[in-house]
Structure 1
Amino acid sequence: MTVVTKSIVVPYRAKQMLELVSDVKSYPEFIPWIRSLKVVSEADSEAGWEGRATAAVGFKGFSETFTTDVKKSLLENKVNVQLVKGPFKYLENSWQFSDHEKGCEVDFKIRFEFSNFLLHALMKANFNRAVTVLMDVFIEEARKRYSE
């Protein structure tokens, strides 16, 4: 199992980043490797939002579809993602948002293992870079949405 973590402080409020990351329907608009995404079920509650989404992703000749359950917790300022179906043997990630004097601290953690050993070895070697790029994509989208 591979685990990658990253923390960064951004100049946006925790609630703003929580809303951005949990807005999975808009991912194809700003995450370049997501070719399409469909929320197949969802439910709002006082505690947050839960949904199941199927995404088609592709980059550098790699193309896959996978389904995840996404949970947004308003009380914890957290988004959890759990694999339902796809090319992974295991996939789980979480986003934690904490108020910070300079805005918000974003803590991201992903644990994964591909079913295919060769694919796992290839992706593992590049996953730290991929997480950095992912964080940059979300920061740029936050800038577009929340900067004055």
Structure 2
Amino acid sequence: MTNKTSSLLLRALVDLSEVHSSKLVRGNRTTFRHLGSCGALAARRTSLNLCPATPLSTPSRSFINLAASISSRRIEYTESRTLGYTPEQMYGVVSSVDQYQYFVPWCKKSRVMKGPNGDIRAELEIGFAPIVERYISEVTVVPNHQVRAVCTDGSLFSHLETLWRFSPGAKDQPGSCKVDFYVSFEFKSLLHSQLASVFFDEVVKQMVGAFESRAATLYRNQHAAPLRRRLS
């Protein structure tokens, strides 16, 4: 059973690596990118070598070479956008952790629990078929202003922190807010670290857009049902 599971895991990593390599070939990644009028995002890796990796020349780069190029180093990402929703509305979307399974990329299950000291904990299950992993984060909030989650238990990440901040938009944009998103992560094992590029491109960089789409679903229609559950 162990050999079969390892084989499935290795095959999945190879498949994901090939898909990711193909995407990189179609357009070189840069350290800084701009999102037009909606804001700017920047991605950086916390290491002494800040130079971008050499672009791939062909989509057939081997799994071994890809593994060598992706270390288990910590990766950070920040993004800021001005969105057409109030800080209270965006806080409502982000703080409703139990709803993540319905719109967050790769999130299969999500639930909120109370810790032994009354603290708030979120258990999330993410899947990169056939890999499915669960982890628990401790969540702290400043209502309508900030949501912070830090991974405290799980076999996937040795470090994972996400931070959302919300502030009113410009005076000439009533009903808007500025959203600042920050995430820092590092995988525990070398095997899992092979997913770093896929996790970064397919999950992290789509995160703010996913929450914006969720806000559109909930708030563009004035008769939309209220959020089922919020952290307070």
TM-score, length basis structure 2 = 0.56
Q: Distance in 2 between matches of 1:134 and 1:60?
A: 19
**How far off is 1:94 after superposition?**
0.1
Q: Give secondary structure in 1 for the equivalent of 2:89.
A: helix
**Structure 2 alignment gaps of length 5 or more:** 1-73, 222-232
Structure 1 gap segments, 5+ residues each: 43-49
Query: 1:94: which partner in 2?
Result: 163
Q: Which has the larger radius of gyration?
A: 2
Quick check: which one's strand share is greater? 1
Q: In percent, how many aligned pairs have the same letter?
A: 29
Post-superposition offset of 1:138: 0.7
The count of aligned residue pairs is 141
Alignment of 1:1-148 (within 5 A): 1-41=74-114, 51-74=120-143, 77-86=145-154, 87-101=156-170, 102=173, 103-124=176-197, 126-148=199-221
RMSD: 2.1
Query: Matches of 1:97 and 1:81 in 2, distance apart?
Result: 15
Moved more, 26-35 or 120-129: 120-129
Aligned equivalents of 2:142, 2:183: Cα separation in 1: 18
In structure 1, how many angstroms separate the alpha carbons of the residues matched to 2:204 and 2:187?
16
> What is residue 45 of structure 2 aligned with on the other side?
none
Q: Which amino acid letter does the alignment assign opposite residue 104 of structure 2?
A: I
Q: Alpha-carbon deviation of 1:144?
A: 0.8
How far has the Cα of 1:57 moved from its partner?
1.2
Give the partner amino acid of 1:27.
Y
Shift of 1:14: 0.8
| More RCO (CA 8 Å, sep 6+) | 1
Q: Please say which of residues 4-13 and 60-69 is displaced more in the overlay.
A: 60-69
